[in-house]
Amino acid sequence: VRTPTAVYDLTVDVYQQVGSDAAICDAARVSTLGAGRKDVDEDADAKLVGYLMANRHGSPFEHGSITFRCHAPWFCWWDHVRHRIGISYNIESSRYRELEPVFYLPCVARTQRGKPGHYVMDAGTDEQTVALQNALVESYRTAWMSYQQALAAGVSREMAMIALPMGLMVTGYTTFNPRSLMNFLSLRRSEHARAEMAQWADQYAAAFDRHWPATAAAFEANGRIAP
């Protein structure tokens, strides 16, 4: 029998990727070149990408694709799947398999002040972190026991899972194009976002930087407003 274990972080790996700053520029230049082509260099591409970003010409940023394999708690997936446009998902199922007892434990509790939409989240005290971790562990243990009891009684997995908490870790694939990725980053890589979502977004952003450096730089220079 497996006992619940805790993880303190989300994991994100790039599974596959295609596209580049140059591909975005090729798509954009079809507007002005039509069937023709022109030799260009990286500087010209960076300049064009900056222009497209600043003037919110978004469509060229859709030609490209990046797929991630992610391990994250349900409450983060819950936030993630609210992004609907230009994003694809496949996530571990609680119907098709017995889930693993791996749960998310935050390293540091956060407190909340201010009004809706203007919340400020501060790092909590050590006491608060301990209180949160204890509360979560208690919930995780009981929930896992309930899950196992229901399964042991012969109840279907899709019903036993109702007992499980939002902190459960599951694995999934996400696919974006550069434009939909920027939409995600504009909302989630922010001080207003839930810290765990910002952590996820930071890991996406690192891959974005690596594969589309000029686009990522222009996005930052433009205040992370998606085109």
**Interaction with a copy of itself in 91-120: which residues (CB under 8 A)?**
91-97, 99-100, 102, 104, 106, 109-112, 116-117, 119
CB of 122 to a copy of itself, least distance (A): 9
Return the residues of window 133-172 that contact a copy of itself according to CB under 8 A: 134-136, 138-140, 142-143, 145-147, 149-150, 153-167, 170-172
103 closest CA partner among 140, 148, 56, 153:
140
Nearer to a copy of itself, 83 or 209 (CB): 83
Asked if 194 is part of the footprint of a copy of itself (rule: CB under 8 A), the reply reads: yes
Nearer to a copy of itself, 89 or 206 (CB): 89
Query: In the set 5, 13, 16, 206, which binds a copy of itself (CB under 8 A)?
Result: 16
- Could you tell me how far CA 70 lies from the centroid of its own chain? 8
Catalytic residue among 29, 179, 188, 189: 188
By rule CB under 8 A, what count of residues binds a copy of itself?
102
The window from 38-46, 124-132, 201-209, 214-222 that contacts a copy of itself (CB under 8 A) reads 124-132
Please state the φ and ψ torsions of residue 15, each to the nearest 5 degrees.
-90, -45
Q: How, if at all, do strands 11-18 and 110-113 pair?
A: unpaired
CB of 209 to a copy of itself, least distance (A): 19
Q: What value, to the nearest 5°, has the Cα angle with vertex 117 and ends 116 and 122?
A: 80
- Could you confirm whether 141 is annotated as catalytic? no
Tokens of 8: 């303190």
196 closest CA partner among 222, 164, 169:
169
CA 197/CA 189 separation, integer angstroms: 7
Query: In the set 15, 42, 210, 221, which binds a copy of itself (CB under 8 A)?
Result: 15
Asked if 4 is part of the footprint of a copy of itself (rule: CB under 8 A), the reply reads: no
Q: How many other CB atoms are there within 10 angstroms of residue 219's CB atom?
A: 27
Tokens of 151: 């399964």
Helix (H), strand (E) at residue 112: strand 110-113
CB of 216 to a copy of itself, least distance (A): 19
Nearer to a copy of itself, 63 or 202 (CB): 63
Asked if 50 is part of the footprint of a copy of itself (rule: CB under 8 A), the reply reads: no
Helix (H), strand (E) at residue 144: helix 126-152
- Bridge-partner residues for 66, per DSSP? 17, 176
Q: Sketch the per residue contact string, 72 through 91, with a copy of itself: x for CB under 8 A, - otherwise.
A: -xxx--x--xx-xxxxxxxx
Query: At residue 222, what is the residue type?
Result: N
Active site residue ranges: 188
